[in-house]
Amino acid sequence: MTTFVELLLSGLSIGSVYALIALGFVIIFKATEVVNFAHASLLLAGGYLTAVLRDDIGFWAALLVGVAGAAAVGALVEFLVIRRYRGHDHSVLAIVTIGVDIVLVTELTRQIGARVMPMGDPWGDRVLTFGSVSIPQTRVAAFVTAALIIGAFLLAFRFTSWGVAMRAVAEHPETAALMGIRLGRVSSSAWAVAGALATVAALFLTVFPTPGLERGTSLVALKAFPAAILGGLDSTTGALVGGLVIGVTQSMAAGYQSDLAFLGRGIGDLAPYLVMLLVLLVRPAGLFGTRELSRV
């Protein structure tokens, strides 16, 4: 039972981190209808900036620079690439983001090299204990931070003029533009927000018990794709639920690996994708995604 509770808590915590990534992914999709395969590179960029700068300017300042840096990279990609595309085929734009991702990830992994870069976070490897259940402080911090950020974001999405503009563009870009909403500004702000969220996720993906940021971190970030897809690409609620489902699944599959030995080693890494395929078989638009209707 103790193991189960520990795994559940740690799964929820990782899941909330995936939800941060998936939320950024969904925001970009809603604002620009682009599926952003370069998301992992935004995450890596933010994490790298934080890890590099923390010795010189301290952890919190480094994190701030990392968040701002990834937001800037996101906005820059939107400005230099996405906005220049003249066609109408959004799957071609998805392939363009793959090109962007190849360039950025290659450069960042070259900079990181064989290093494992610790984040220098204030939580370290301390562990909180409630009765017989113990959980690393970083996991608690991840869950609390993610919950706060996501809550703040959803409130902003609902009540600020930025949020209203964003939702209007997602509903109908042309009408929104005629109402005086500047589409370019909305889409670059979506990319910037996604970059910022990804950086926070990068922090919590690379703190204890993980040793630090390394070349493979961008692969970990790929697990947020199934989170976004199984929740439904155009639903913020879906991103949250998807993230939690993926986190708990992964944590359970990895924790009970010895009982699942017949499935082979490393089933924890595969579990998110299997769950996603199962959900897609039943609900092709994800759990909360709107089913596409076409007028003929």
One residue of 78, 101, 121, 214 binding other proteins per CB under 8 A: 101
> Is residue 296 close enough to count as binding other proteins by CB under 8 A?
yes
DSSP letter assigned to residue 210: S
> Is residue 181 close enough to count as binding other proteins by CB under 8 A?
no
> Is residue 78 close enough to count as binding other proteins by CB under 8 A?
no
Q: Are 105 and 44 in contact (CB under 8 A)?
A: yes
Which position has the token pair 């706060």? 148
As a whole number of angstroms, the distance between CA 165 and CA 179 comes to: 10
Q: In this structure, which amino acid lies at residue 20?
A: L
Integer angstrom CA distances of residue 131 from 6, 11, 139, 196:
12, 19, 17, 36
One residue of 5, 8, 68, 94 binding other proteins per CB under 8 A: 94
> Is residue 110 close enough to count as binding other proteins by CB under 8 A?
yes
- Between 181 and 222, whose beta carbon lies closer to other proteins? 222
One residue of 79, 107, 156, 163 binding other proteins per CB under 8 A: 107
Q: Using the rule CB under 8 A, give the single segment among 2-10, 60-68, 180-188, 266-274 that binds other proteins.
A: 266-274
> Is residue 100 close enough to count as binding other proteins by CB under 8 A?
yes
Q: Exposure pattern of 174-200 as b/e (b: 16+ CB <10 Å)?
A: eebeeeebebeebbbbbbbbbbbbbbb
> Is residue 76 close enough to count as binding other proteins by CB under 8 A?
no
One residue of 57, 98, 128, 147 binding other proteins per CB under 8 A: 98
As given in the structure block, the two tokens for residue 184 are: 């370019």
Q: DSSP alpha helices (H): ranges in the chain?
A: 2-32, 39-57, 59-80, 90-112, 137-159, 161-171, 173-178, 183-206, 217-221, 224-231, 236-255, 267-282
What is the closest distance, in whole angstroms, from the C-beta atom of residue 91 to other proteins in the complex? 5
Residue ranges in contact with other proteins by CB under 8 A:
29, 35, 81, 84-87, 89-96, 98-103, 106-107, 110, 219, 222, 225-226, 229, 233, 264-267, 269-270, 273-274, 276-277, 280-281, 284-286, 292, 294, 296
